[in-house]
Amino acid sequence: MSQVNSLSKSEELINLENNHGAHNYHPLPVVLDKGEGVYVWDVEKKIYFDFLSAYSAVNQGHCHPRIVNALTEQAKKLTLTSRAFYNSQLGEYEKYITNYFGFDKVLPMNTGAEAVETALKLARKWAYEVKGIEHNLAKIIVCEGNFHGRTTTIISFSNDTDARDNFGPYTPGFTRIPYDDLDALREALEDKNIAAMLVEPIQGEAGVYTPNDNYISKAAAMCKEKNVLFMADEVQTGIARTGSLLAVCGNCNCEGHCEKQETYTRPDVLILGKALSGGAYPVSAVLADDAVMNVIQPGQHGSTFGGNPIAAAVAVEALEVVKDEKLAQNARKLGDLFRTEMKRIIGKTDLISRVRGKGLLNAIIINDHPSSTTAWEICVALKDNGLLAKPTHGNIIRFAPPLVITEEQLLACVAIIEKTILEFNKPI
Protein backbone atom coordinates (compact mmCIF):
# COMPACT_ATOMS: atom_id res chain seq x y z
CA MET A 1 0.00 0.00 0.00
CA SER A 2 2.85 2.40 0.85
CA GLN A 3 4.17 1.59 -2.62
CA VAL A 4 0.89 2.77 -4.18
CA ASN A 5 0.78 5.91 -2.05
CA SER A 6 4.23 6.96 -3.18
CA LEU A 7 3.04 7.24 -6.79
CA SER A 8 2.23 10.67 -8.12
CA LYS A 9 -1.28 11.34 -9.36
CA SER A 10 0.04 11.19 -12.94
CA GLU A 11 1.73 7.83 -12.37
CA GLU A 12 -1.42 6.40 -10.84
CA LEU A 13 -3.52 7.52 -13.81
CA ILE A 14 -0.98 6.28 -16.34
CA ASN A 15 -1.03 2.90 -14.60
CA LEU A 16 -4.82 2.80 -14.82
CA GLU A 17 -4.68 3.30 -18.58
CA ASN A 18 -1.90 0.75 -18.93
CA ASN A 19 -3.71 -1.83 -16.86
CA HIS A 20 -7.24 -1.41 -18.19
CA GLY A 21 -6.97 0.11 -21.63
CA ALA A 22 -5.87 -1.52 -24.86
CA HIS A 23 -2.30 -0.60 -25.72
CA ASN A 24 -3.12 0.87 -29.13
CA TYR A 25 -1.32 4.16 -28.34
CA HIS A 26 2.04 5.11 -26.85
CA PRO A 27 1.35 8.50 -25.24
CA LEU A 28 3.94 10.89 -23.85
CA PRO A 29 3.96 10.47 -20.06
CA VAL A 30 1.78 13.49 -19.24
CA VAL A 31 -1.77 13.35 -17.86
CA LEU A 32 -3.82 16.36 -18.92
CA ASP A 33 -6.68 17.65 -16.89
CA LYS A 34 -7.61 21.07 -18.23
CA GLY A 35 -7.20 23.20 -21.35
CA GLU A 36 -7.73 26.81 -22.35
CA GLY A 37 -6.64 28.34 -25.64
CA VAL A 38 -3.07 27.26 -26.36
CA TYR A 39 -2.53 25.98 -22.81
CA VAL A 40 -3.12 22.64 -21.11
CA TRP A 41 -2.53 21.68 -17.49
CA ASP A 42 -1.59 18.28 -16.10
CA VAL A 43 -3.03 16.74 -12.93
CA GLU A 44 -0.12 18.21 -10.93
CA LYS A 45 -1.20 21.63 -12.27
CA LYS A 46 1.91 22.08 -14.40
CA ILE A 47 1.13 24.24 -17.44
CA TYR A 48 2.19 23.43 -21.03
CA PHE A 49 1.87 24.89 -24.49
CA ASP A 50 -0.02 22.38 -26.63
CA PHE A 51 1.93 22.01 -29.85
CA LEU A 52 -0.10 19.12 -31.23
CA SER A 53 -3.68 20.45 -30.91
CA ALA A 54 -5.07 16.91 -30.89
CA TYR A 55 -3.72 16.36 -34.41
CA SER A 56 -5.20 19.70 -35.52
CA ALA A 57 -8.68 19.13 -34.07
CA VAL A 58 -8.25 22.01 -31.62
CA ASN A 59 -7.41 24.74 -34.15
CA GLN A 60 -9.77 27.13 -32.36
CA GLY A 61 -7.97 26.54 -29.03
CA HIS A 62 -8.94 24.38 -26.08
CA CYS A 63 -12.43 24.87 -24.66
CA HIS A 64 -13.24 27.86 -26.84
CA PRO A 65 -16.03 29.58 -24.86
CA ARG A 66 -18.28 30.07 -27.89
CA ILE A 67 -17.96 26.45 -28.98
CA VAL A 68 -18.43 25.11 -25.45
CA ASN A 69 -21.51 27.31 -25.13
CA ALA A 70 -22.98 26.01 -28.38
CA LEU A 71 -22.33 22.46 -27.17
CA THR A 72 -23.85 22.85 -23.72
CA GLU A 73 -26.87 24.90 -24.85
CA GLN A 74 -27.74 22.32 -27.48
CA ALA A 75 -27.04 19.43 -25.07
CA LYS A 76 -29.67 20.80 -22.70
CA LYS A 77 -32.26 20.96 -25.45
CA LEU A 78 -31.92 17.99 -27.81
CA THR A 79 -28.97 15.65 -28.32
CA LEU A 80 -29.96 12.95 -30.76
CA THR A 81 -32.93 12.12 -32.93
CA SER A 82 -31.25 9.81 -35.45
CA ARG A 83 -31.97 10.58 -39.07
CA ALA A 84 -35.29 8.76 -38.85
CA PHE A 85 -36.66 12.25 -38.14
CA TYR A 86 -35.65 15.77 -39.09
CA ASN A 87 -34.06 17.96 -36.42
CA SER A 88 -34.09 21.71 -35.99
CA GLN A 89 -30.28 22.16 -36.25
CA LEU A 90 -29.26 19.99 -39.19
CA GLY A 91 -30.74 21.95 -42.08
CA GLU A 92 -29.28 25.23 -40.84
CA TYR A 93 -25.89 23.58 -40.48
CA GLU A 94 -26.07 22.01 -43.94
CA LYS A 95 -26.96 25.34 -45.50
CA TYR A 96 -24.17 27.04 -43.58
CA ILE A 97 -21.37 24.59 -44.35
CA THR A 98 -22.22 24.11 -48.04
CA ASN A 99 -22.22 27.88 -48.45
CA TYR A 100 -19.01 28.23 -46.43
CA PHE A 101 -17.08 25.80 -48.63
CA GLY A 102 -19.01 26.28 -51.88
CA PHE A 103 -20.56 22.86 -52.59
CA ASP A 104 -24.13 21.81 -53.37
CA LYS A 105 -24.43 19.19 -50.65
CA VAL A 106 -22.92 17.82 -47.45
CA LEU A 107 -23.11 14.33 -45.99
CA PRO A 108 -22.57 14.50 -42.22
CA MET A 109 -20.60 11.83 -40.34
CA ASN A 110 -18.70 11.76 -37.05
CA THR A 111 -15.06 10.73 -37.40
CA GLY A 112 -12.55 11.40 -40.13
CA ALA A 113 -12.29 7.73 -41.05
CA GLU A 114 -16.06 7.55 -41.53
CA ALA A 115 -15.95 10.57 -43.80
CA VAL A 116 -13.18 8.97 -45.86
CA GLU A 117 -15.21 5.73 -46.07
CA THR A 118 -18.16 7.79 -47.22
CA ALA A 119 -16.07 9.39 -49.97
CA LEU A 120 -14.81 5.98 -51.12
CA LYS A 121 -18.35 4.60 -51.31
CA LEU A 122 -19.51 7.72 -53.12
CA ALA A 123 -16.71 7.37 -55.68
CA ARG A 124 -17.49 3.72 -56.36
CA LYS A 125 -21.20 4.28 -56.76
CA TRP A 126 -20.57 7.28 -59.01
CA ALA A 127 -18.17 5.15 -61.09
CA TYR A 128 -20.85 2.53 -61.82
CA GLU A 129 -23.90 4.73 -62.10
CA VAL A 130 -22.51 7.86 -63.76
CA LYS A 131 -19.09 7.17 -65.27
CA GLY A 132 -20.11 3.71 -66.50
CA ILE A 133 -17.27 1.58 -65.17
CA GLU A 134 -18.07 -2.13 -65.33
CA HIS A 135 -19.44 -3.55 -62.09
CA ASN A 136 -16.98 -4.24 -59.26
CA LEU A 137 -13.99 -3.10 -61.30
CA ALA A 138 -13.68 0.50 -60.03
CA LYS A 139 -10.30 1.51 -58.64
CA ILE A 140 -9.26 4.47 -56.54
CA ILE A 141 -5.79 5.99 -56.72
CA VAL A 142 -4.10 6.64 -53.36
CA CYS A 143 -0.58 7.75 -52.45
CA GLU A 144 2.31 6.14 -50.65
CA GLY A 145 2.67 7.41 -47.11
CA ASN A 146 -1.05 8.16 -46.89
CA PHE A 147 -2.98 8.36 -43.66
CA HIS A 148 -6.75 8.36 -44.01
CA GLY A 149 -7.87 6.58 -40.83
CA ARG A 150 -8.12 3.13 -39.30
CA THR A 151 -10.97 1.13 -40.83
CA THR A 152 -10.25 -2.20 -42.51
CA THR A 153 -10.72 -0.70 -45.98
CA ILE A 154 -8.59 2.36 -45.27
CA ILE A 155 -5.68 0.38 -43.80
CA SER A 156 -5.93 -1.92 -46.82
CA PHE A 157 -4.32 0.80 -48.93
CA SER A 158 -1.87 2.06 -46.30
CA ASN A 159 1.81 1.20 -46.62
CA ASP A 160 2.48 1.69 -42.91
CA THR A 161 3.25 -1.81 -41.66
CA ASP A 162 2.04 -1.04 -38.11
CA ALA A 163 -1.31 0.15 -39.42
CA ARG A 164 -1.69 -2.76 -41.81
CA ASP A 165 0.08 -5.97 -40.83
CA ASN A 166 -2.10 -8.92 -39.80
CA PHE A 167 -5.36 -7.09 -40.41
CA GLY A 168 -5.97 -8.80 -43.76
CA PRO A 169 -7.62 -9.90 -45.95
CA TYR A 170 -7.49 -6.46 -47.48
CA THR A 171 -10.11 -4.58 -49.47
CA PRO A 172 -9.18 -4.58 -53.16
CA GLY A 173 -9.73 -1.75 -55.61
CA PHE A 174 -6.90 0.66 -54.81
CA THR A 175 -3.87 1.69 -56.87
CA ARG A 176 -1.07 3.18 -54.81
CA ILE A 177 1.37 5.59 -56.44
CA PRO A 178 4.24 7.70 -55.05
CA TYR A 179 3.14 11.03 -53.52
CA ASP A 180 4.05 14.25 -55.31
CA ASP A 181 4.79 12.35 -58.54
CA LEU A 182 2.76 13.56 -61.53
CA ASP A 183 4.36 11.06 -63.93
CA ALA A 184 3.22 8.18 -61.75
CA LEU A 185 -0.25 9.72 -61.65
CA ARG A 186 -0.34 10.12 -65.42
CA GLU A 187 0.51 6.45 -65.84
CA ALA A 188 -2.05 5.30 -63.25
CA LEU A 189 -4.74 7.38 -64.96
CA GLU A 190 -4.32 5.34 -68.14
CA ASP A 191 -6.38 2.61 -66.47
CA LYS A 192 -9.97 3.14 -67.66
CA ASN A 193 -11.36 1.71 -64.42
CA ILE A 194 -10.07 4.53 -62.24
CA ALA A 195 -12.98 6.21 -60.46
CA ALA A 196 -11.20 8.65 -58.19
CA MET A 197 -7.99 9.87 -56.62
CA LEU A 198 -7.89 10.27 -52.84
CA VAL A 199 -5.11 12.52 -51.58
CA GLU A 200 -3.95 14.65 -48.65
CA PRO A 201 -2.82 18.12 -49.88
CA ILE A 202 -0.05 17.84 -47.26
CA GLN A 203 0.67 14.41 -45.73
CA GLY A 204 0.36 15.10 -41.99
CA GLU A 205 0.99 11.72 -40.40
CA ALA A 206 3.73 10.87 -42.87
CA GLY A 207 5.70 13.74 -41.31
CA VAL A 208 4.16 16.92 -42.71
CA TYR A 209 5.31 15.96 -46.17
CA THR A 210 4.67 19.08 -48.25
CA PRO A 211 4.45 18.50 -52.01
CA ASN A 212 5.59 20.84 -54.76
CA ASP A 213 3.47 23.98 -55.09
CA ASN A 214 1.76 22.88 -58.29
CA TYR A 215 1.24 19.19 -57.40
CA ILE A 216 -2.34 19.45 -56.18
CA SER A 217 -3.58 21.74 -58.96
CA LYS A 218 -1.90 19.65 -61.67
CA ALA A 219 -3.12 16.37 -60.18
CA ALA A 220 -6.67 17.70 -60.08
CA ALA A 221 -6.45 18.88 -63.69
CA MET A 222 -5.14 15.50 -64.82
CA CYS A 223 -7.99 13.74 -63.00
CA LYS A 224 -10.54 16.05 -64.57
CA GLU A 225 -9.22 15.29 -68.03
CA LYS A 226 -9.86 11.57 -67.42
CA ASN A 227 -13.26 12.06 -65.75
CA VAL A 228 -11.79 10.88 -62.45
CA LEU A 229 -13.03 12.37 -59.17
CA PHE A 230 -10.43 14.39 -57.28
CA MET A 231 -11.05 13.78 -53.57
CA ALA A 232 -9.12 15.92 -51.06
CA ASP A 233 -8.74 14.57 -47.53
CA GLU A 234 -8.46 17.81 -45.56
CA VAL A 235 -9.27 16.24 -42.20
CA GLN A 236 -5.93 17.49 -40.86
CA THR A 237 -4.94 20.26 -43.29
CA GLY A 238 -8.34 21.94 -43.56
CA ILE A 239 -10.03 24.70 -41.59
CA ALA A 240 -7.24 27.31 -41.49
CA ARG A 241 -4.41 25.03 -40.33
CA THR A 242 -2.10 25.67 -43.30
CA GLY A 243 -2.70 29.43 -43.50
CA SER A 244 -5.73 29.37 -45.77
CA LEU A 245 -9.23 28.05 -45.19
CA LEU A 246 -8.26 24.83 -46.98
CA ALA A 247 -4.88 23.58 -48.13
CA VAL A 248 -6.37 23.32 -51.65
CA CYS A 249 -6.83 27.10 -51.55
CA GLY A 250 -3.11 27.28 -52.32
CA ASN A 251 -1.67 30.64 -51.44
CA CYS A 252 -4.99 32.40 -51.36
CA ASN A 253 -4.99 35.04 -48.68
CA CYS A 254 -8.70 35.57 -48.17
CA GLU A 255 -10.39 34.59 -44.97
CA GLY A 256 -13.26 32.60 -46.29
CA HIS A 257 -14.12 30.58 -49.30
CA CYS A 258 -13.70 32.19 -52.70
CA GLU A 259 -14.01 30.33 -55.96
CA LYS A 260 -12.52 33.10 -58.02
CA GLN A 261 -9.04 32.81 -56.59
CA GLU A 262 -6.65 31.51 -59.18
CA THR A 263 -4.75 29.45 -56.65
CA TYR A 264 -7.83 27.50 -55.54
CA THR A 265 -8.04 23.87 -56.66
CA ARG A 266 -11.64 22.81 -56.29
CA PRO A 267 -11.90 19.14 -55.34
CA ASP A 268 -14.88 17.11 -56.55
CA VAL A 269 -15.14 15.67 -53.06
CA LEU A 270 -13.91 17.47 -49.93
CA ILE A 271 -13.42 15.51 -46.70
CA LEU A 272 -13.36 17.38 -43.37
CA GLY A 273 -13.19 16.37 -39.71
CA LYS A 274 -11.07 17.23 -36.68
CA ALA A 275 -11.28 21.06 -36.39
CA LEU A 276 -14.79 21.05 -37.83
CA SER A 277 -15.86 20.90 -34.18
CA GLY A 278 -12.89 22.67 -32.64
CA GLY A 279 -12.23 19.45 -30.77
CA ALA A 280 -15.43 19.65 -28.73
CA TYR A 281 -17.23 16.75 -30.37
CA PRO A 282 -16.65 14.23 -33.18
CA VAL A 283 -17.91 15.92 -36.35
CA SER A 284 -16.90 15.07 -39.91
CA ALA A 285 -18.32 15.87 -43.31
CA VAL A 286 -18.13 15.03 -46.98
CA LEU A 287 -18.91 17.83 -49.41
CA ALA A 288 -19.68 17.42 -53.11
CA ASP A 289 -21.95 18.75 -55.83
CA ASP A 290 -25.25 17.15 -56.79
CA ALA A 291 -23.82 15.31 -59.79
CA VAL A 292 -21.78 13.22 -57.37
CA MET A 293 -23.72 13.33 -54.11
CA ASN A 294 -27.06 12.40 -55.66
CA VAL A 295 -25.88 8.85 -56.37
CA ILE A 296 -26.58 8.13 -52.70
CA GLN A 297 -30.28 7.65 -52.08
CA PRO A 298 -32.30 6.85 -48.90
CA GLY A 299 -31.15 3.75 -47.10
CA GLN A 300 -27.88 3.43 -48.99
CA HIS A 301 -25.56 5.03 -46.42
CA GLY A 302 -25.85 6.57 -42.96
CA SER A 303 -24.87 6.87 -39.33
CA THR A 304 -26.97 6.99 -36.17
CA PHE A 305 -25.01 9.94 -34.81
CA GLY A 306 -24.16 11.63 -38.11
CA GLY A 307 -25.88 15.01 -38.38
CA ASN A 308 -27.05 15.02 -34.77
CA PRO A 309 -28.18 18.37 -33.36
CA ILE A 310 -25.18 18.83 -31.04
CA ALA A 311 -22.75 18.18 -33.89
CA ALA A 312 -24.64 20.61 -36.12
CA ALA A 313 -24.69 23.41 -33.53
CA VAL A 314 -21.05 22.88 -32.59
CA ALA A 315 -19.81 22.82 -36.20
CA VAL A 316 -21.55 26.07 -37.13
CA GLU A 317 -20.00 27.82 -34.13
CA ALA A 318 -16.56 26.29 -34.75
CA LEU A 319 -16.58 27.53 -38.36
CA GLU A 320 -17.81 30.98 -37.32
CA VAL A 321 -14.92 31.26 -34.86
CA VAL A 322 -12.43 30.48 -37.65
CA LYS A 323 -13.76 33.42 -39.66
CA ASP A 324 -14.34 35.86 -36.79
CA GLU A 325 -10.90 35.34 -35.29
CA LYS A 326 -9.13 35.33 -38.65
CA LEU A 327 -7.38 32.07 -37.82
CA ALA A 328 -6.18 31.39 -41.38
CA GLN A 329 -4.45 34.77 -41.49
CA ASN A 330 -2.88 34.18 -38.10
CA ALA A 331 -1.68 30.71 -39.11
CA ARG A 332 -0.15 32.14 -42.27
CA LYS A 333 1.68 34.98 -40.53
CA LEU A 334 2.89 33.04 -37.51
CA GLY A 335 3.75 29.99 -39.63
CA ASP A 336 6.20 32.12 -41.62
CA LEU A 337 7.67 33.46 -38.40
CA PHE A 338 7.92 29.96 -36.93
CA ARG A 339 9.82 28.50 -39.89
CA THR A 340 12.16 31.51 -39.95
CA GLU A 341 12.91 30.95 -36.27
CA MET A 342 13.43 27.21 -36.77
CA LYS A 343 15.89 27.92 -39.59
CA ARG A 344 17.78 30.22 -37.25
CA ILE A 345 17.99 27.41 -34.67
CA ILE A 346 19.04 24.90 -37.34
CA GLY A 347 22.00 27.21 -38.02
CA LYS A 348 23.16 26.59 -34.44
CA THR A 349 22.85 22.80 -34.19
CA ASP A 350 23.42 19.56 -36.06
CA LEU A 351 20.51 17.92 -34.28
CA ILE A 352 17.87 19.20 -36.75
CA SER A 353 18.40 18.94 -40.47
CA ARG A 354 15.42 20.94 -41.72
CA VAL A 355 12.00 22.42 -41.10
CA ARG A 356 9.07 22.05 -43.47
CA GLY A 357 5.38 22.78 -43.54
CA LYS A 358 2.80 25.40 -44.30
CA GLY A 359 0.93 27.80 -42.05
CA LEU A 360 1.01 26.32 -38.56
CA LEU A 361 1.38 22.71 -39.72
CA ASN A 362 5.12 22.22 -39.50
CA ALA A 363 7.72 19.61 -38.65
CA ILE A 364 11.40 19.47 -37.87
CA ILE A 365 13.42 16.57 -39.17
CA ILE A 366 15.85 15.14 -36.65
CA ASN A 367 19.28 14.39 -37.99
CA ASP A 368 19.38 10.73 -36.90
CA HIS A 369 18.36 7.28 -38.12
CA PRO A 370 14.60 7.08 -38.81
CA SER A 371 14.43 4.16 -36.38
CA SER A 372 16.27 5.89 -33.51
CA THR A 373 14.39 7.22 -30.48
CA THR A 374 15.93 10.71 -30.61
CA ALA A 375 12.70 12.47 -31.66
CA TRP A 376 10.87 10.78 -28.78
CA GLU A 377 13.57 11.80 -26.31
CA ILE A 378 13.46 15.39 -27.54
CA CYS A 379 9.67 15.39 -27.09
CA VAL A 380 10.10 14.18 -23.50
CA ALA A 381 12.63 16.99 -22.91
CA LEU A 382 10.23 19.52 -24.51
CA LYS A 383 7.50 18.29 -22.17
CA ASP A 384 9.77 18.81 -19.15
CA ASN A 385 10.35 22.35 -20.43
CA GLY A 386 6.62 23.03 -20.84
CA LEU A 387 5.76 22.26 -24.47
CA LEU A 388 3.87 19.21 -25.76
CA ALA A 389 4.64 17.74 -29.18
CA LYS A 390 4.73 14.23 -30.57
CA PRO A 391 7.04 12.47 -33.00
CA THR A 392 5.63 11.20 -36.28
CA HIS A 393 7.07 8.56 -38.58
CA GLY A 394 10.83 8.48 -39.00
CA ASN A 395 12.30 10.82 -36.40
CA ILE A 396 10.19 13.81 -37.27
CA ILE A 397 8.53 16.12 -34.73
CA ARG A 398 5.30 17.79 -35.78
CA PHE A 399 4.63 21.30 -34.44
CA ALA A 400 0.99 22.33 -34.72
CA PRO A 401 -0.22 24.71 -32.00
CA PRO A 402 -3.81 25.94 -31.78
CA LEU A 403 -4.29 28.71 -34.35
CA VAL A 404 -5.36 31.19 -31.68
CA ILE A 405 -1.71 31.44 -30.59
CA THR A 406 -0.32 34.98 -30.39
CA GLU A 407 3.06 36.12 -31.66
CA GLU A 408 4.28 36.58 -28.10
CA GLN A 409 3.22 33.04 -27.17
CA LEU A 410 4.79 31.63 -30.31
CA LEU A 411 8.11 33.30 -29.53
CA ALA A 412 7.95 31.89 -25.99
CA CYS A 413 7.51 28.45 -27.58
CA VAL A 414 10.42 29.05 -29.94
CA ALA A 415 12.55 29.86 -26.88
CA ILE A 416 11.53 26.56 -25.24
CA ILE A 417 12.33 24.63 -28.42
CA GLU A 418 15.68 26.41 -28.83
CA LYS A 419 16.72 25.78 -25.22
CA THR A 420 15.66 22.14 -25.39
CA ILE A 421 17.42 21.45 -28.66
CA LEU A 422 20.65 23.24 -27.72
CA GLU A 423 20.77 21.52 -24.31
CA PHE A 424 19.98 18.10 -25.74
CA ASN A 425 23.28 16.32 -25.49
CA LYS A 426 22.77 12.86 -26.84
CA PRO A 427 25.56 12.30 -29.37
CA ILE A 428 24.24 11.79 -32.87
List of residues contacting ligand PLP (CB under 6 A): 55, 111-113, 116, 147-149, 200, 204-205, 233, 235-236, 273
Q: Which of these is catalytic: 131, 139, 274, 383?
A: 274
Which of 341, 359 has the CB closer to ligand PLP?
359
Q: How far is the CB of 233 from ligand PLP (least distance, A)?
A: 5
Whether the CB-CB separation of 410 and 338 falls below 8 Å is answered with yes
Instruction: Give 3: exposed, middle or buried? Use CB within 10 Å, 0-12, 13-18, 19+.
Output: exposed
Is 147 a residue of the active site? Answer: yes
Closest separation between CB of residue 276 and ligand PLP, Å? Answer: 10
Instruction: Please identify, using beta-carbon distances, which residue of 97 and 199 lies nearer to ligand PLP.
Output: 199
Q: What's the closest the beta carbon of residue 367 comes to ligand PLP, in angstroms?
A: 26
Taking the least distance from each CB to ligand PLP, the nearer of 147 and 264 is 147
Residue 169: asked if its preceding bond is cis (omega within 30°), the reply is yes
Q: How many whole angstroms separate alpha carbon 361 and alpha carbon 398?
A: 7
Smallest separation (angstroms) from ligand PLP to the CB of 113: 3
* Catalytic residue (one of 180, 233, 268, 368): 233
Burial 243-254 (b: 16+ CB within 10 A, else e): bbbbbbbbebee
Min CB(27)–ligand PLP separation in Å: 15
Handedness of CA 21, 26, 31, 34 (dihedral sign): negative
Question: Which residue is nearest to ligand PLP, using beta carbons?
Answer: 112
Distance CA 303, CA 312 (A): 14
Least separation in angstroms between residue 236's CB and ligand PLP is 3
| DSSP state at residue 157 | T
| Known catalytic residue at 233 | yes
Nearer to ligand PLP, 282 or 309 (CB): 282
Sheet of 387-388, strand order = 32-36, 39-42, 47-50, 387-388
Of 49 and 147, CB closest to ligand PLP: 147
H/E/C letters for each residue in 38-61? CEEEECCCCEEEECCHHHHCCCCC
Task: Please say which residue, 285 or 421, places its beta carbon nearer to ligand PLP.
Answer: 285
Sign of the Cα pseudo-torsion (324, 328, 329, 333, in order): positive
Which entry of 49, 147, 174, 338 is annotated as an active-site residue? 147
Determine contact, residues 295/195, Cβ cutoff 8 Å. no
- Nearest Cα residue to 288 out of 222, 231, 244: 231
**Nearer residue to ligand PLP within complex by CB, 35 or 201:** 201
Q: To the nearest whole angstrom, how small is the minimum distance from the Cβ of residue 53 to ligand PLP?
A: 12
Taking the C-alpha atoms of residue 371 and residue 385, their distance in angstroms, rounded to an integer, is 25
- Comparing CA positions, the residue from 114, 23, 130 lying closest to residue 303 is 114
Residues annotated as catalytic are 147, 233, 274
